[in-house]
Amino acid sequence: MATVMGVIAGILLGFLLIAAAGIVTGVLIIRALYWSVRRNRTVRGVALRTRVAVTSGPQRQVLKLRLRLADSLESCRAAVELAQHSAGPHGEVARLLRRIQAEGATVESQLRLLQSETDTTVLATEVPIVRDRVEQLEALVRSLRSAVASGLGAPSDDTLAALRADVDREVAALDAGVRELHTLHSFDAGQEPRRQNTTHLTRGNES
């Protein structure tokens, strides 16, 4: 019986170890994928900036719009990610981010198409239209980031106000303690000469 229980315990322990190893492996894979995506995003941004610097003509304007769009969408994503990890209200920021990203992907596709356009007449007509869409998305991102900042700032302001009140009370208590200590020292200093005079008088009367 003891042997059977030992075998069962060994099997259960093996399953637990396998499960723990699977969880750890999954976490490591997810982290690796996350940082890979972050690095790829950074690399794409650097490559796009380099292309803007070395390109001229109408295509440079298109690349600059692509860069503006990418920067705006990235700032929006970062703000929403910060909001989701904060204690403030989240609201519908995640859903709004997905909608903005979907519209941004559409505009990005239009810009990629214009980037390969060689007809200057088409570029002169289409680039202002797409620029207006980029500017609209930038305005939406600014509004969303402002909403996120307000959500982050409200609890921070309350916390700082409470902290300021606690500090003011502590400073007032310390000041009162220091004043009381000075008063006690002054009282003791005044009592010492009186004790000395009393001692002299007593000795004189005894003599």
DSSP state letter for 1: -
Find, among 151, 130, 135, the residue nearest to 72 by Cα.
Answer: 135
User: Token pair of 16, please?
Assistant: 């637990």
User: Token pair of 27, please?
Assistant: 């976490």
Residue 201's pLDDT is 47
Q: Does the pLDDT of residue 31 top 70, yes or no?
A: no
Find, among 145, 142, 134, the residue nearest to 70 by Cα.
Answer: 134
The pLDDT tens digits for 97-129 are 889 999 999 999 999 999 888 888 998 999 999
- Rounded alpha-carbon distances, angstroms, from residue 168 to 25, 155, 158, 181: 51, 20, 15, 20
Indicate the length of the chain as a whole number.
207
Q: How far apart are CA 137 and CA 99, in angstroms?
A: 11
Q: Does the pLDDT of residue 17 top 50, yes or no?
A: yes
Residue 50's pLDDT is 75
E strand or H helix that includes residue 130: helix 120-206
Q: What percent of the chain has pLDDT over 70?
A: 66
Q: What is the pTM of this model?
A: 0.54
User: Token pair of 195, please?
Assistant: 């004790």
- Angle, CA 102 vertex, CA 97 and CA 103 arms, to 5°: 100
Q: Does the pLDDT of residue 82 top 90, yes or no?
A: no
Q: How far apart are CA 93 and CA 146, in angstroms?
A: 11
Give 20's pLDDT tier (boundaries 50, 70, 90).
confident
The pLDDT tens digits for 151-191 are 766 556 667 777 788 888 888 888 888 888 777 777 666 55
Residue 106's pLDDT is 94
Q: What percent of the chain has pLDDT over 90?
A: 21
